[in-house]
Amino acid sequence: MLRTARSIAHEVGLDAVTPGAGAALRLLAAAGNARGVVEIGTGTGVSGVWLLRGMRADGVLTTIDVEVEHQRIARRIFAEAGFVAGRTRIITGRARDVLPRLADGAYDLVFVDAEATGFTACVDAALRLLRPGGVLVLNGALAGGRIGDPAARDAETVTVRETVKAIRESEHWIPALLPVGHGLLAAVRC
C-alpha cells in the first residue's frame, strides 16, 4: 500500500518521504505518544500513513495541502491503510492561510514537507502550535546534499541553511539532524 502511494506520488511528480524517513517519523510520533499532529504537505499520503502508524490510536492527523487532487489520492490511501475518516482532518489551502487557524499549544508534532521557501513561516507557526516537549520535523534539511557546500547559493539551499542555523541558535529548540531521506531536522520545543 505504501509502495502504491509512493508510485502514485512519482507519477504525479511528487517526492514522497523515503521508507527511512517514514520510519523516523513513525518513531518520533510514537516516542511523543502523539495525539495531535500537523502535517504541511499531504502529497499522496505516504508520510501521513507513517505518522498515523506512530500516533496514539485516538490521535488525529491534521494535514494541509494546496492541491485538492493530491489530497483526494491521500484520502483513499489513508482508508486503504485502515484509518477511519475521523483519524484525519484534511484541509485544502496554503500553509500560510491555514496555520493561523490552528490552536496554540495543541499539537505534539509538526511535520513540514512543502516548499523550502515557506520554512521560516512554518517554523514560526510550529513554535506557537506545539506544546512544550512537542517536536518539529523539517524535511529536506540536507538540501539535496548542497547544505554543506559553501558554493551552493541557490534560493532553496540558502533558505534551508538559514532555517537550520536559526533553529540551532534559538533558545526555543533542541535540534538534531537525522540523515535519512533528504534529511530530517527534528527539534524539540523547549
- Residue among 41, 54, 59, 181 that touches ligand SAM (CB under 6 A): 41
Q: Which of 29, 64, 102, 178 binds ligand SAM (CB under 6 A)?
A: 64
Q: Is residue 115 part of the contact set for ligand SAM (CB under 6 A)?
A: yes
Closest CA to 109 of 88, 82, 136: 136
Work out which of 14, 102, 112, 127 binds ligand SAM, going by CB under 6 A: 14
Sequence-distant (6+) residues with CB within 8 A of 148 are: none
CA angle at 147 for the pair 30 and 176, rounded to the nearest 5°: 30
How many residues interact with ligand SAM (rule CB under 6 A)?
Answer: 24
**Interface region with ligand SAM, contact rule CB under 6 A, candidates 12-20, 52-60, 149-157, 158-166:** 12-20
Burial of 174 per CB tally in 10 Å (0-12, 13-18, 19+): middle
Q: Pick one of 29, 47, 51, 134: the residue that binds ligand SAM (CB under 6 A).
A: 47
